[in-house]
Structure 1
Amino acid sequence: MTQARAHAALTEFIQRQSSLGARCVLVITGVGLRTGGVLRSLTPRWLDEPPIAPLVLATSPASLRHGGDGAIYVMLRRRRDGEGNAT
């Protein structure tokens, strides 16, 4: 996947999962053997930038059984609607 397409796909995925009320998602970046892990290194930066950053509570490396170095757990903030009521 190109950087531009990966960034768009990540943005769409995080926004959709947040709108569905997900609290934790697994983002698979791949290890990047041929490109030196470009997407793996860019993903944490993208998660810290708008429009995704306000939706993200925390990130953590994935366990080996979920992808190890080629994946990241992303904890999403609880959605709030209206006057601060959690959904």
Structure 2
Amino acid sequence: MTQQKVNLAGETIHAYRQQGEQLRQEELDLALARIEKGEQAERVMQEFAHRLTQKLLHPTSIMLREAAKSEDPSHFEQMQICLNETFDKRRKTKK
């Protein structure tokens, strides 16, 4: 049973990463097209970062809201713990 859960998690993680990559590529294509049309690169990059961040974080925000509405408070609490651990373990930006 545990191996099945691990396999399912792997499939879900793979699909999640593919979705993120697809969003990144769509937003990058849009940004590059805008720059080619002569829009200010700095403004385009600011909007690119904002749009991509919003699209990546939106599903998690929805899940957190739904978990908070749940009859079982432990679901939200577990998500909150995992999210806080993610913040604590955040990778440092490469320069």
Q: TM-score, normalised by structure 1?
A: 0.31
Greater share of helix residues, 1 or 2?
2
Structure whose alpha-carbon radius of gyration is higher: 2
Q: TM-score, normalised by structure 2?
A: 0.29
User: With CA pairs under 8 Å and 6+ residues apart, which has the higher RCO, 1 or 2?
Assistant: 1
